Structure 1
Amino acid sequence: MDTHNHLLLLVPLLLLINMATFCFGDLRKDFEITWGNGRAHILDNGKLLTLSLDKASGSGFQSKREYLFGKIDMQLKLVPGNSAGTVTAYYLSSKGSAWDEIDFEFLGNLSGDPYILHTNVFSHGKGNREQQFYLWFDPTADFHSYSILWNPKHIVFYVDEIPIRVFKNLESKGVPFPNKQPMRIHSSLWNADDWATRGGLIKTDWTKAPFTASYRNFKVTAAAAASTAARGSGRTSEELDARSENRLKWVQKKYMIYNYCTDTKRFPHGFPPEC
């Protein structure tokens, strides 16, 4: 094959690679501080973002662009020490009264006790699909990756590339699935001591403030589109392989502490159809 033909094959491949993965090294280009009155900062030439909470206010940020399908990766280091009463929320969300949302929420706890990782999926404004987990490591000692894979078939929650939850598209059974509304990435650090730690029994110790969570190494696997939303490609169409399925079962057996699909008190007359 001559050089010309080699180039003809190479150009589409390079375009595909370029569309499939955007790796953002400068958080300033991709996120904006939305609230907090100086409590959120983008540092180290855009490589680090921090949110802080004190008695007066928390803080938050959001992505500058919207996404429709993709794999969203971010490394977080959570509030260390006595974080009781605090919540670090990291999620995708659309706008309007019939919004879609895909949630990671990290519920703080007393020093030495494990964080609770709370997950939820909203479709057309309806949530109530909570699953909760303990983590198998200290999420305050170092950065760990938290990822959302969102495609037309399913939503997969990952921790350090280990799947912990799958929410499948079961529109065929009448279950709404988020697949039409583009979403922004959001994160916030806020006080929720009326419910976050042991149902609100443990209150925030403001002598430990300010509380700080840190973010780095954002990456999204998605294809650029002409509109404001980026439509996913590449890894977004993958199914879980056998190894991932086994890891999912391991996490759910050892570390899941609440599953709405087994809550008979909440659903005495039968579980939702997706269960």
Structure 2
Amino acid sequence: MQCLPKGLIFVWSLISCITIAVSSTHGQYSPPSLTQLTGLFPHLTFNRSYSEFFGGSNIRQSDNGSHIDLILNKFSGSGFVSQNNYYYGFFSAAIKLPSDYSAGVVVAFYMTNANVFPHTHDEIDIELLGHEKRKEWVLQTNVYGNGSTIGREEKFYLWFDPTQQFHQYSILWNYHHIVFLVDNIPVREVNHSEAISRAYPSKPMSVYSTIWDGSKWATHGGKKPVNYMFAPFVASFSELEIEGCIWNPTKVIPLCSKSGPETGSNSDPVDGEEFVRLSEQQRTGMDSVRERFMLYTYCKDPGRYSVLPPECSDKNMGDLQDGDRIDG
């Protein structure tokens, strides 16, 4: 190795230490072993469960439809949508995110019915927000119900590098609660309490997967737009799972009975004991993730809301102590 002046040696050592610290971020947390909800349902092929949403040639299938690449380039993003609408269920996809510089890129796995109920739509979002070099992807979750305009975002860093291999991102939605999971570990639970009842998603929704240009807001509030010198950006999807009540618009009720205490129905595929409430182990795992990796929660943002949404006072909504503030 060529000898360096002392000043440069110090700078080189500092850069090395920073690089080591950044590269070891993912190794500082060992996730708990929890019930594998994704193991309870079959994997579906693309043609069996989804159809093209937009992007045409930017959607690539392989392995007989069990692997799908969504591409974003300077011409278009891309996406696919479920062939049916669902009233409650378990929805999951294993996703591998674009590597390298991806600021402004948004990869989303979400549910909405805005095309059917444009003025009173519901939405459940998992959005993965791109990163700058040597910085992390951010997981953003959100819930809208019955046309509510209040954003209920929570953001998290991940405990792994999501660009190196596939990781499972899942949504559990039933009468009792909505749970966001990463690799079967709950990261957020929205309970169907009285406080949030008017804004709780309550109508059948389609499932979407997309990659698109979020330059106006995704990274540092739009300060870091997509740099197409690094295109194409490729998000890969596999292990697609959809298990829920298929909505038949010609009937008043879906094909399987509505979940809820008034019926006690067991025909809903996500109405069993393992879906009605989190186990003690799942709750402990969720608490650990939220303590270590939560970046932002709307319930601790009085600067955004002069009066916080009513569910923020519900002890079941979050796990933060009064007076704490977490910002992104």
**Residue equivalent to 2:220:** 198
**Residue equivalent to 1:77:** 96
Displacement of 1:215 in angstroms is: 0.4
**Residue equivalent to 1:116:** 138
CA distance in 1, matches of 2:137, 2:92: 20
**Residue equivalent to 1:162:** 185
CA distance in 2, matches of 1:33, 1:174: 33
1:50-98 CA-to-partner distances (Å, cap 9, x unmatched) read 1101111111110001111111121011111111111111101113221
Match of 2:42 among 20, 23, 37: 23
Q: 1:172 to 1:105 in 2, by over 3 A?
A: closer
CA distance in 2, matches of 1:162, 1:22: 17
Q: With the length of structure 1 as denominator, give the TM-score of the two structures.
A: 0.86
Match of 2:208 among 173, 186, 191: 186
Q: 1:167 to 1:38 in 2, by over 3 A?
A: same
Q: Larger C-alpha radius of gyration, 1 or 2?
A: 2
Structure 2, gaps ≥5 residues long: 1-39, 257-267, 313-328
Q: In 2, are the aligned partners of 1:41 and 1:49 still within 8 Å (CA)?
A: yes
Q: Write the mapping of 1:49-64 to structure 2, written as runs, cut at 5 A.
A: 49-64=68-83
Q: 1:40 to 1:175 in 2, by over 3 A?
A: same
Q: In 1, are the aligned partners of 2:82 and 2:207 still within 8 Å (CA)?
A: yes
**Residue equivalent to 1:273:** 310
1:181-225 CA-to-partner distances (Å, cap 9, x unmatched) read 111100111111122112222222211111110100112333567
* Structure number having the greater strand percentage: 1
1:118-170 CA-to-partner distances (Å, cap 9, x unmatched) read 11001012141010100110111100000101010110000001000011112
AA aligned opposite 2:286: L
Q: 1:45 to 1:98 in 2, by over 3 A?
A: same
AA aligned opposite 1:254: R
Q: In 2, are the aligned partners of 1:76 and 1:213 still within 8 Å (CA)?
A: yes
Displacement of 1:22 in angstroms is: 5.2
Q: Write the mapping of 1:1-275 to structure 2, written as runs, cut at 5 A.
A: 23-94=42-113, 95-96=116-117, 97-126=119-148, 127-171=150-194, 175-179=198-202, 181-222=203-244, 231=256, 232-234=268-270, 237-268=275-306, 270-275=307-312
Structure 1, gaps ≥5 residues long: 1-20
Q: In 2, are the aligned partners of 1:24 and 1:30 still within 8 Å (CA)?
A: no
AA aligned opposite 1:274: E
Q: With the length of structure 2 as denominator, give the TM-score of the two structures.
A: 0.73
* Secondary structure in structure 2 of the residue aligned to 1:121: strand
CA distance in 2, matches of 1:225, 1:171: 25
1:94-116 CA-to-partner distances (Å, cap 9, x unmatched) read 13221101000111011221001
Q: 1:162 to 1:230 in 2, by over 3 A?
A: farther
Q: 1:159 to 1:22 in 2, by over 3 A?
A: closer
CA distance in 2, matches of 1:57, 1:221: 30
Computed over aligned residues only, the root mean square deviation of the Cα atoms, in angstroms, reads 1.9
Dislocated runs of 4+, deviation >4 Å: 223-231
